[in-house]
Structure 1
Amino acid sequence: MLNNAQSGCHQEIVTIDDVFFSYENKTVIQNLSYSILERDFVGLIGANGAGKTTLLKMIVGLLKPTSGEIRLFGQSIKDFRDWERIGYVPQKNALNPLFPATVREVVTSGLFGKKNMFRRLTKQQRNKCDDALYAMRIEDLADRRIGQLSGGQQQRVFLARALVNNPELLILDEPTVGIDAETQAGFFRMIRHMHQHHHITFIMVSHDMDMMKSYLGSEPAQKNGGLSFYVKHTHEPENCRETDLTHSMQQLRETMEVLT
């Protein structure tokens, strides 16, 4: 198995061990072994059909490998239950336009795992939701039904949902699809800041090759079939006084206001 870092003591956040995945008779991923250490930023690049989204779905438990094993935070995904430690923005959200939830309810749902999904919100949790709404410039949409929004607005809602709980692992599958260029630029600044200064591990798929390679380097760390893994290690201690992501999201908001 390829180990990304020579740092020795950093926890493996995602371990992919000899994984195969097939749709019916078509093999999409085969013999993939890869380990992602805490505070790595991994960019997945590949043509359509190379297995990028399939791999992300396996990591978040939406698909099961045909064979092989995936471990999260050192625990087999079969036994993993701490899903609130992971933020995930899928490539496309198959959303029923009649789904009755409001924007605020969708963002708030990112605060809860199955263990505490029916607990009442604390003031701190309400503030976290407000911060995420504000950062993504959707606070004025808070009481709108999610199905009434445009695709770009919905994507901002799901970004806010993924960020609201200060995840340890943030998985982003084309996170800026449907978002204007200025907002994309601000978003990339925010996640670079988050990676450099916070205890967060990133896995991201993006077709913005210039952005990916400018931050992650021009040469992949590993290839598997049509998949290329670009990696930047940030294993130094965090150097932000703030311990949560509120100020990072505030930075995004301020960037957006300057750009517009």
Structure 2
Amino acid sequence: MSQPDLFTAACHEDVITIRDLSFAYDHKPVIENLQFSVKQRDFVGLIGSNGAGKTTLLRMIVGLVKPTEGEIRLFGEPITTFRDWERIGYVPQKSSLNPLFPATVREVVVSGLYGKKNLFRRLTKTDLQKCDDALHAMSIEDLAEKRIGQLSGGQQQRVFLARALVNNPDLLILDEPTVGIDIETQQGFFHMIKHMHQHHHITFLMVSHDMDMIETYLGKEPVERSGKLKFYVKHSHEIEDCRETDLAHSLKDLRIKLQSHVTY
């Protein structure tokens, strides 16, 4: 049974379009003439040695760094005029926080629901449920009222993952998302994002050093190389989509394991 042509066409539209992209630090080239497109429902694994430009590329895609040359389009629109940032979830590389940072875990996760267009809106019951789902999905609901600066590095990373997931984004960009997280929680996380990729119309772009995960799910050979960067891609085009809409259901089978292997 084939899928409708309209859906098939939409499924292959560009989410990220990169043309002639270059970036240099102090006139030293990091990325040169990169050409690459990420389609709807792609899962792209980005691999490269230290200094290859992986994090720099992600930061350009989310608008934190301007390219030296070239063009980036998000959902068909030039990044210079793109405004629908709530469609994108982003988890940067793990970084330490000031232990005096005043926000609670719940407040950090909820902040993922706000964008420039709705910065001052009142939270709804649906918003609060999304927050609870994200906390549950990352097995951190018991930390909801703690200040994030009091948490371990692994706990903080799960908070930022929950924040990126809270809006059920169309595009999820992850920069080494499991650094500092114990093995069991890593397995649960990969289980969740693979399920979301296969059944929830989410596109993924992820930097990872976990070659076993990359090769097992995305294949042993990259589909594209540019300088020191390698792009591994798997496209999901499932006929039956998951009827569940919350984030937590995809971890139900691993819930007990996750709770018994929390890193503090």
Using structure 1 for the length normalisation, give the TM-score: 0.92
Worse overlay, 241-250 or 103-112: 241-250
Q: Which aligned runs of 4 or more in structure 1 are off by greater than 6 angstroms?
A: none
| Identity of matched residues, % | 72
Q: 1:1-260 residue pairs with structure 2 within 5 A? A: 9=10, 10-93=12-95, 95-248=97-250, 250=252, 253=255, 256-257=258-259
Check whether the contact 1:190–1:251 (CA below 8 A) recurs between aligned residues: no
Distance 2:97 2:87 in 1: 24
Distance 2:42 2:69 in 1: 25
Secondary structure, aligned partner of 2:118:
coil
Check whether the contact 2:184–2:257 (CA below 8 A) recurs between aligned residues: no
Could you say which residue in structure 2 is the equivalent of 1:3? none
Question: Displacement of 1:64 after TM fit?
Answer: 0.6
Matched letter for residue 211 of structure 1:
M
Check whether the contact 2:40–2:203 (CA below 8 A) recurs between aligned residues: yes
Q: Name the count of aligned residue pairs.
A: 254
Distance 2:245 2:208 in 1: 27
Secondary structure, aligned partner of 1:110:
helix
Could you say which residue in structure 1 is the equivalent of 2:4? none
Distance 2:84 2:251 in 1: 24
Distance 1:81 1:94 in 2: 29
Structure 1, unmatched stretches of 5+, are: 1-6
Matched letter for residue 73 of structure 1:
F
1:170-223 C-alpha deviation (Å, 9 max, x unpaired): 001000000000100111111111111111000001111011111000000010
Question: Displacement of 1:111 after TM fit?
Answer: 0.9
Question: Displacement of 1:54 after TM fit?
Answer: 0.5
1:150-175 C-alpha deviation (Å, 9 max, x unpaired): 11110010000000110000001000
Distance 1:244 1:36 in 2: 25
Cα RMSD, aligned residues only: 1.7
Distance 1:69 1:251 in 2: 43
Secondary structure, aligned partner of 1:120:
coil
